[in-house]
Homo-oligomer: A and B are copies of this chain.
Amino acid sequence: MLTKNQSKRILRLNKKKFRTQEQMFVTEGIKVTQEFLDAGYELVEVFSTDLGYAQYSHAFVHISENELSSISTLKTPNKVLSIFRIPLPKPLDDSNLILALDDLNNPGNLGTIIRLCDWFGIRDLVCSPATVDCYNPKVVQSAMGSHTRVNITYSALEPLLSSSSNAMGTFMQGDSIYATSLPNSGVLVLGNEANGISENLNSFLDTKLTIPKFGPFKKTESLNVANAASIILSEWRRQSIEK
């Protein structure tokens, strides 16, 4: 049975303030939870309609479907909700390409980009401090476990870019990604959904990249940032095969 106090503690973790304070986050559903369990994340508490989860923690609470619904952020809760400890980020590996996000707002976009990093083997994702929190429940659910394979760090982007010899950013005008040799290492910055890359980062960038438009109209105003990420990471990996 779920106590009022447990319920309150879980729901508080939907807010960044409390996640930061407690250094904990919530996962939901069998698949996503299993990814974090398999990756050895420290399980703090597990709440489930399924007794099988008792094996993972002494802090197991058997709950009803209704209780699960009352603590879930999902439309159709799926058997389990867990609280994990937020891990410390690892040092960056600058021998690989680092992806950096400048003030991304949308949790779905961040989740999708974490998944794309996982797909394309980007180890390090650096988020500007104003970027949506990667342990936001929507981000965790949309990344579908890819958090466990991508090292996510929140820090100011200026020092990262100024220390890199290959600092690249995406713009509406710039060098075509197809005609530019994309380096194996360096930093690639993607900007905010509405405003792009902050002006104060411009002077730190060595290369301005763009995804060309095609066809007779060329009137599409912009690409969704997650689509832009998928296109550039794909092109980067394609070039690395050819090298």
**Identical chains bound together, number:** 2
Query: Of the 9-residue stretches A22-30, A41-49, A110-118, which lies at the interface with chain B?
Result: A110-118
Which residues 205-238 of A sit at the B interface, judged by CB distance below 8 A?
Answer: 211-217, 219-221, 223-224, 226-228, 230-231, 234-235, 237-238
A178-B238, A234-B235 are contacts. A221–B144 as well, Cβ < 8 Å? yes
Residues of B close to A56: CB separation below 8 A: none
- Asked if A215 contacts B112 (CB within 8 A), the reply is no
Residue numbers in B under 8 Å from A220 (CB-CB): 115, 118-119, 144, 146, 149
The answer to whether the Cβ of A122 comes within 8 Å of any Cβ in the partner chain is: yes
A123 within 8 Å of B (CB atoms): yes
A118 contact from B123, B215, B224, B237, Cβ within 8 A: B215
Measured in the bound complex, the distance between the Cα atoms of B116 and A178 in whole Å is 17
Name the one of B146, B215, B223 contacting A230, with C-beta atoms under 8 angstroms. Answer: B223
Contacts of A123 in B (CB 8 A): 215
User: Is there an interface contact between A234 and B237, defined as CB atoms closer than 8 Å?
Assistant: no
CB distance B238 to A119 under 8 Å?
no
Docked Cα-Cα span, A86 to B27, in Å, equals 43
How far is it, in angstroms, between the C-alpha of A219 and the C-alpha of B241 when the chains are bound? 20
- The residues in A between 108 and 139 inclusive whose CB is less than 8 angstroms from any CB of B are 112, 115-116, 118-123
Chain B residues with CB under 8 A of A219:
118, 149
Shortest CB–CB separation between residue A164 and chain B, in angstroms?
20
Q: Chain B nearest CB: distance from A43 CB in Å?
A: 20
**B residues near A211, Cβ cutoff 8 Å:** 119, 234
Quick check: A121 and B223 within 8 Å, CB to CB?
A: no
Give me 7 A-to-B residue pairs in the complex whose CB atoms sit less than 8 angstroms apart, sorted by A's number: A115-B223, A118-B215, A119-B215, A119-B223, A121-B216, A224-B226, A235-B235
Given contact pairs A112-B227, A178-B237, A211-B234, enumerate 18 new A-B contacts (beta carbons under 8 Å): A116-B223, A118-B215, A119-B213, A119-B215, A119-B220, A121-B215, A123-B215, A144-B220, A149-B217, A149-B220, A178-B241, A226-B226, A227-B230, A228-B230, A230-B230, A234-B234, A234-B235, A235-B238
Which residues of A are at the interface with B, using a C-beta cutoff of 8 A?
112, 115-116, 118-123, 144, 146, 149, 178, 211-217, 219-221, 223-224, 226-228, 230-231, 234-235, 237-238, 241
Top 3 nearest A-B pairs (CB, nearest first) are: A121-B215, A121-B214, A227-B230
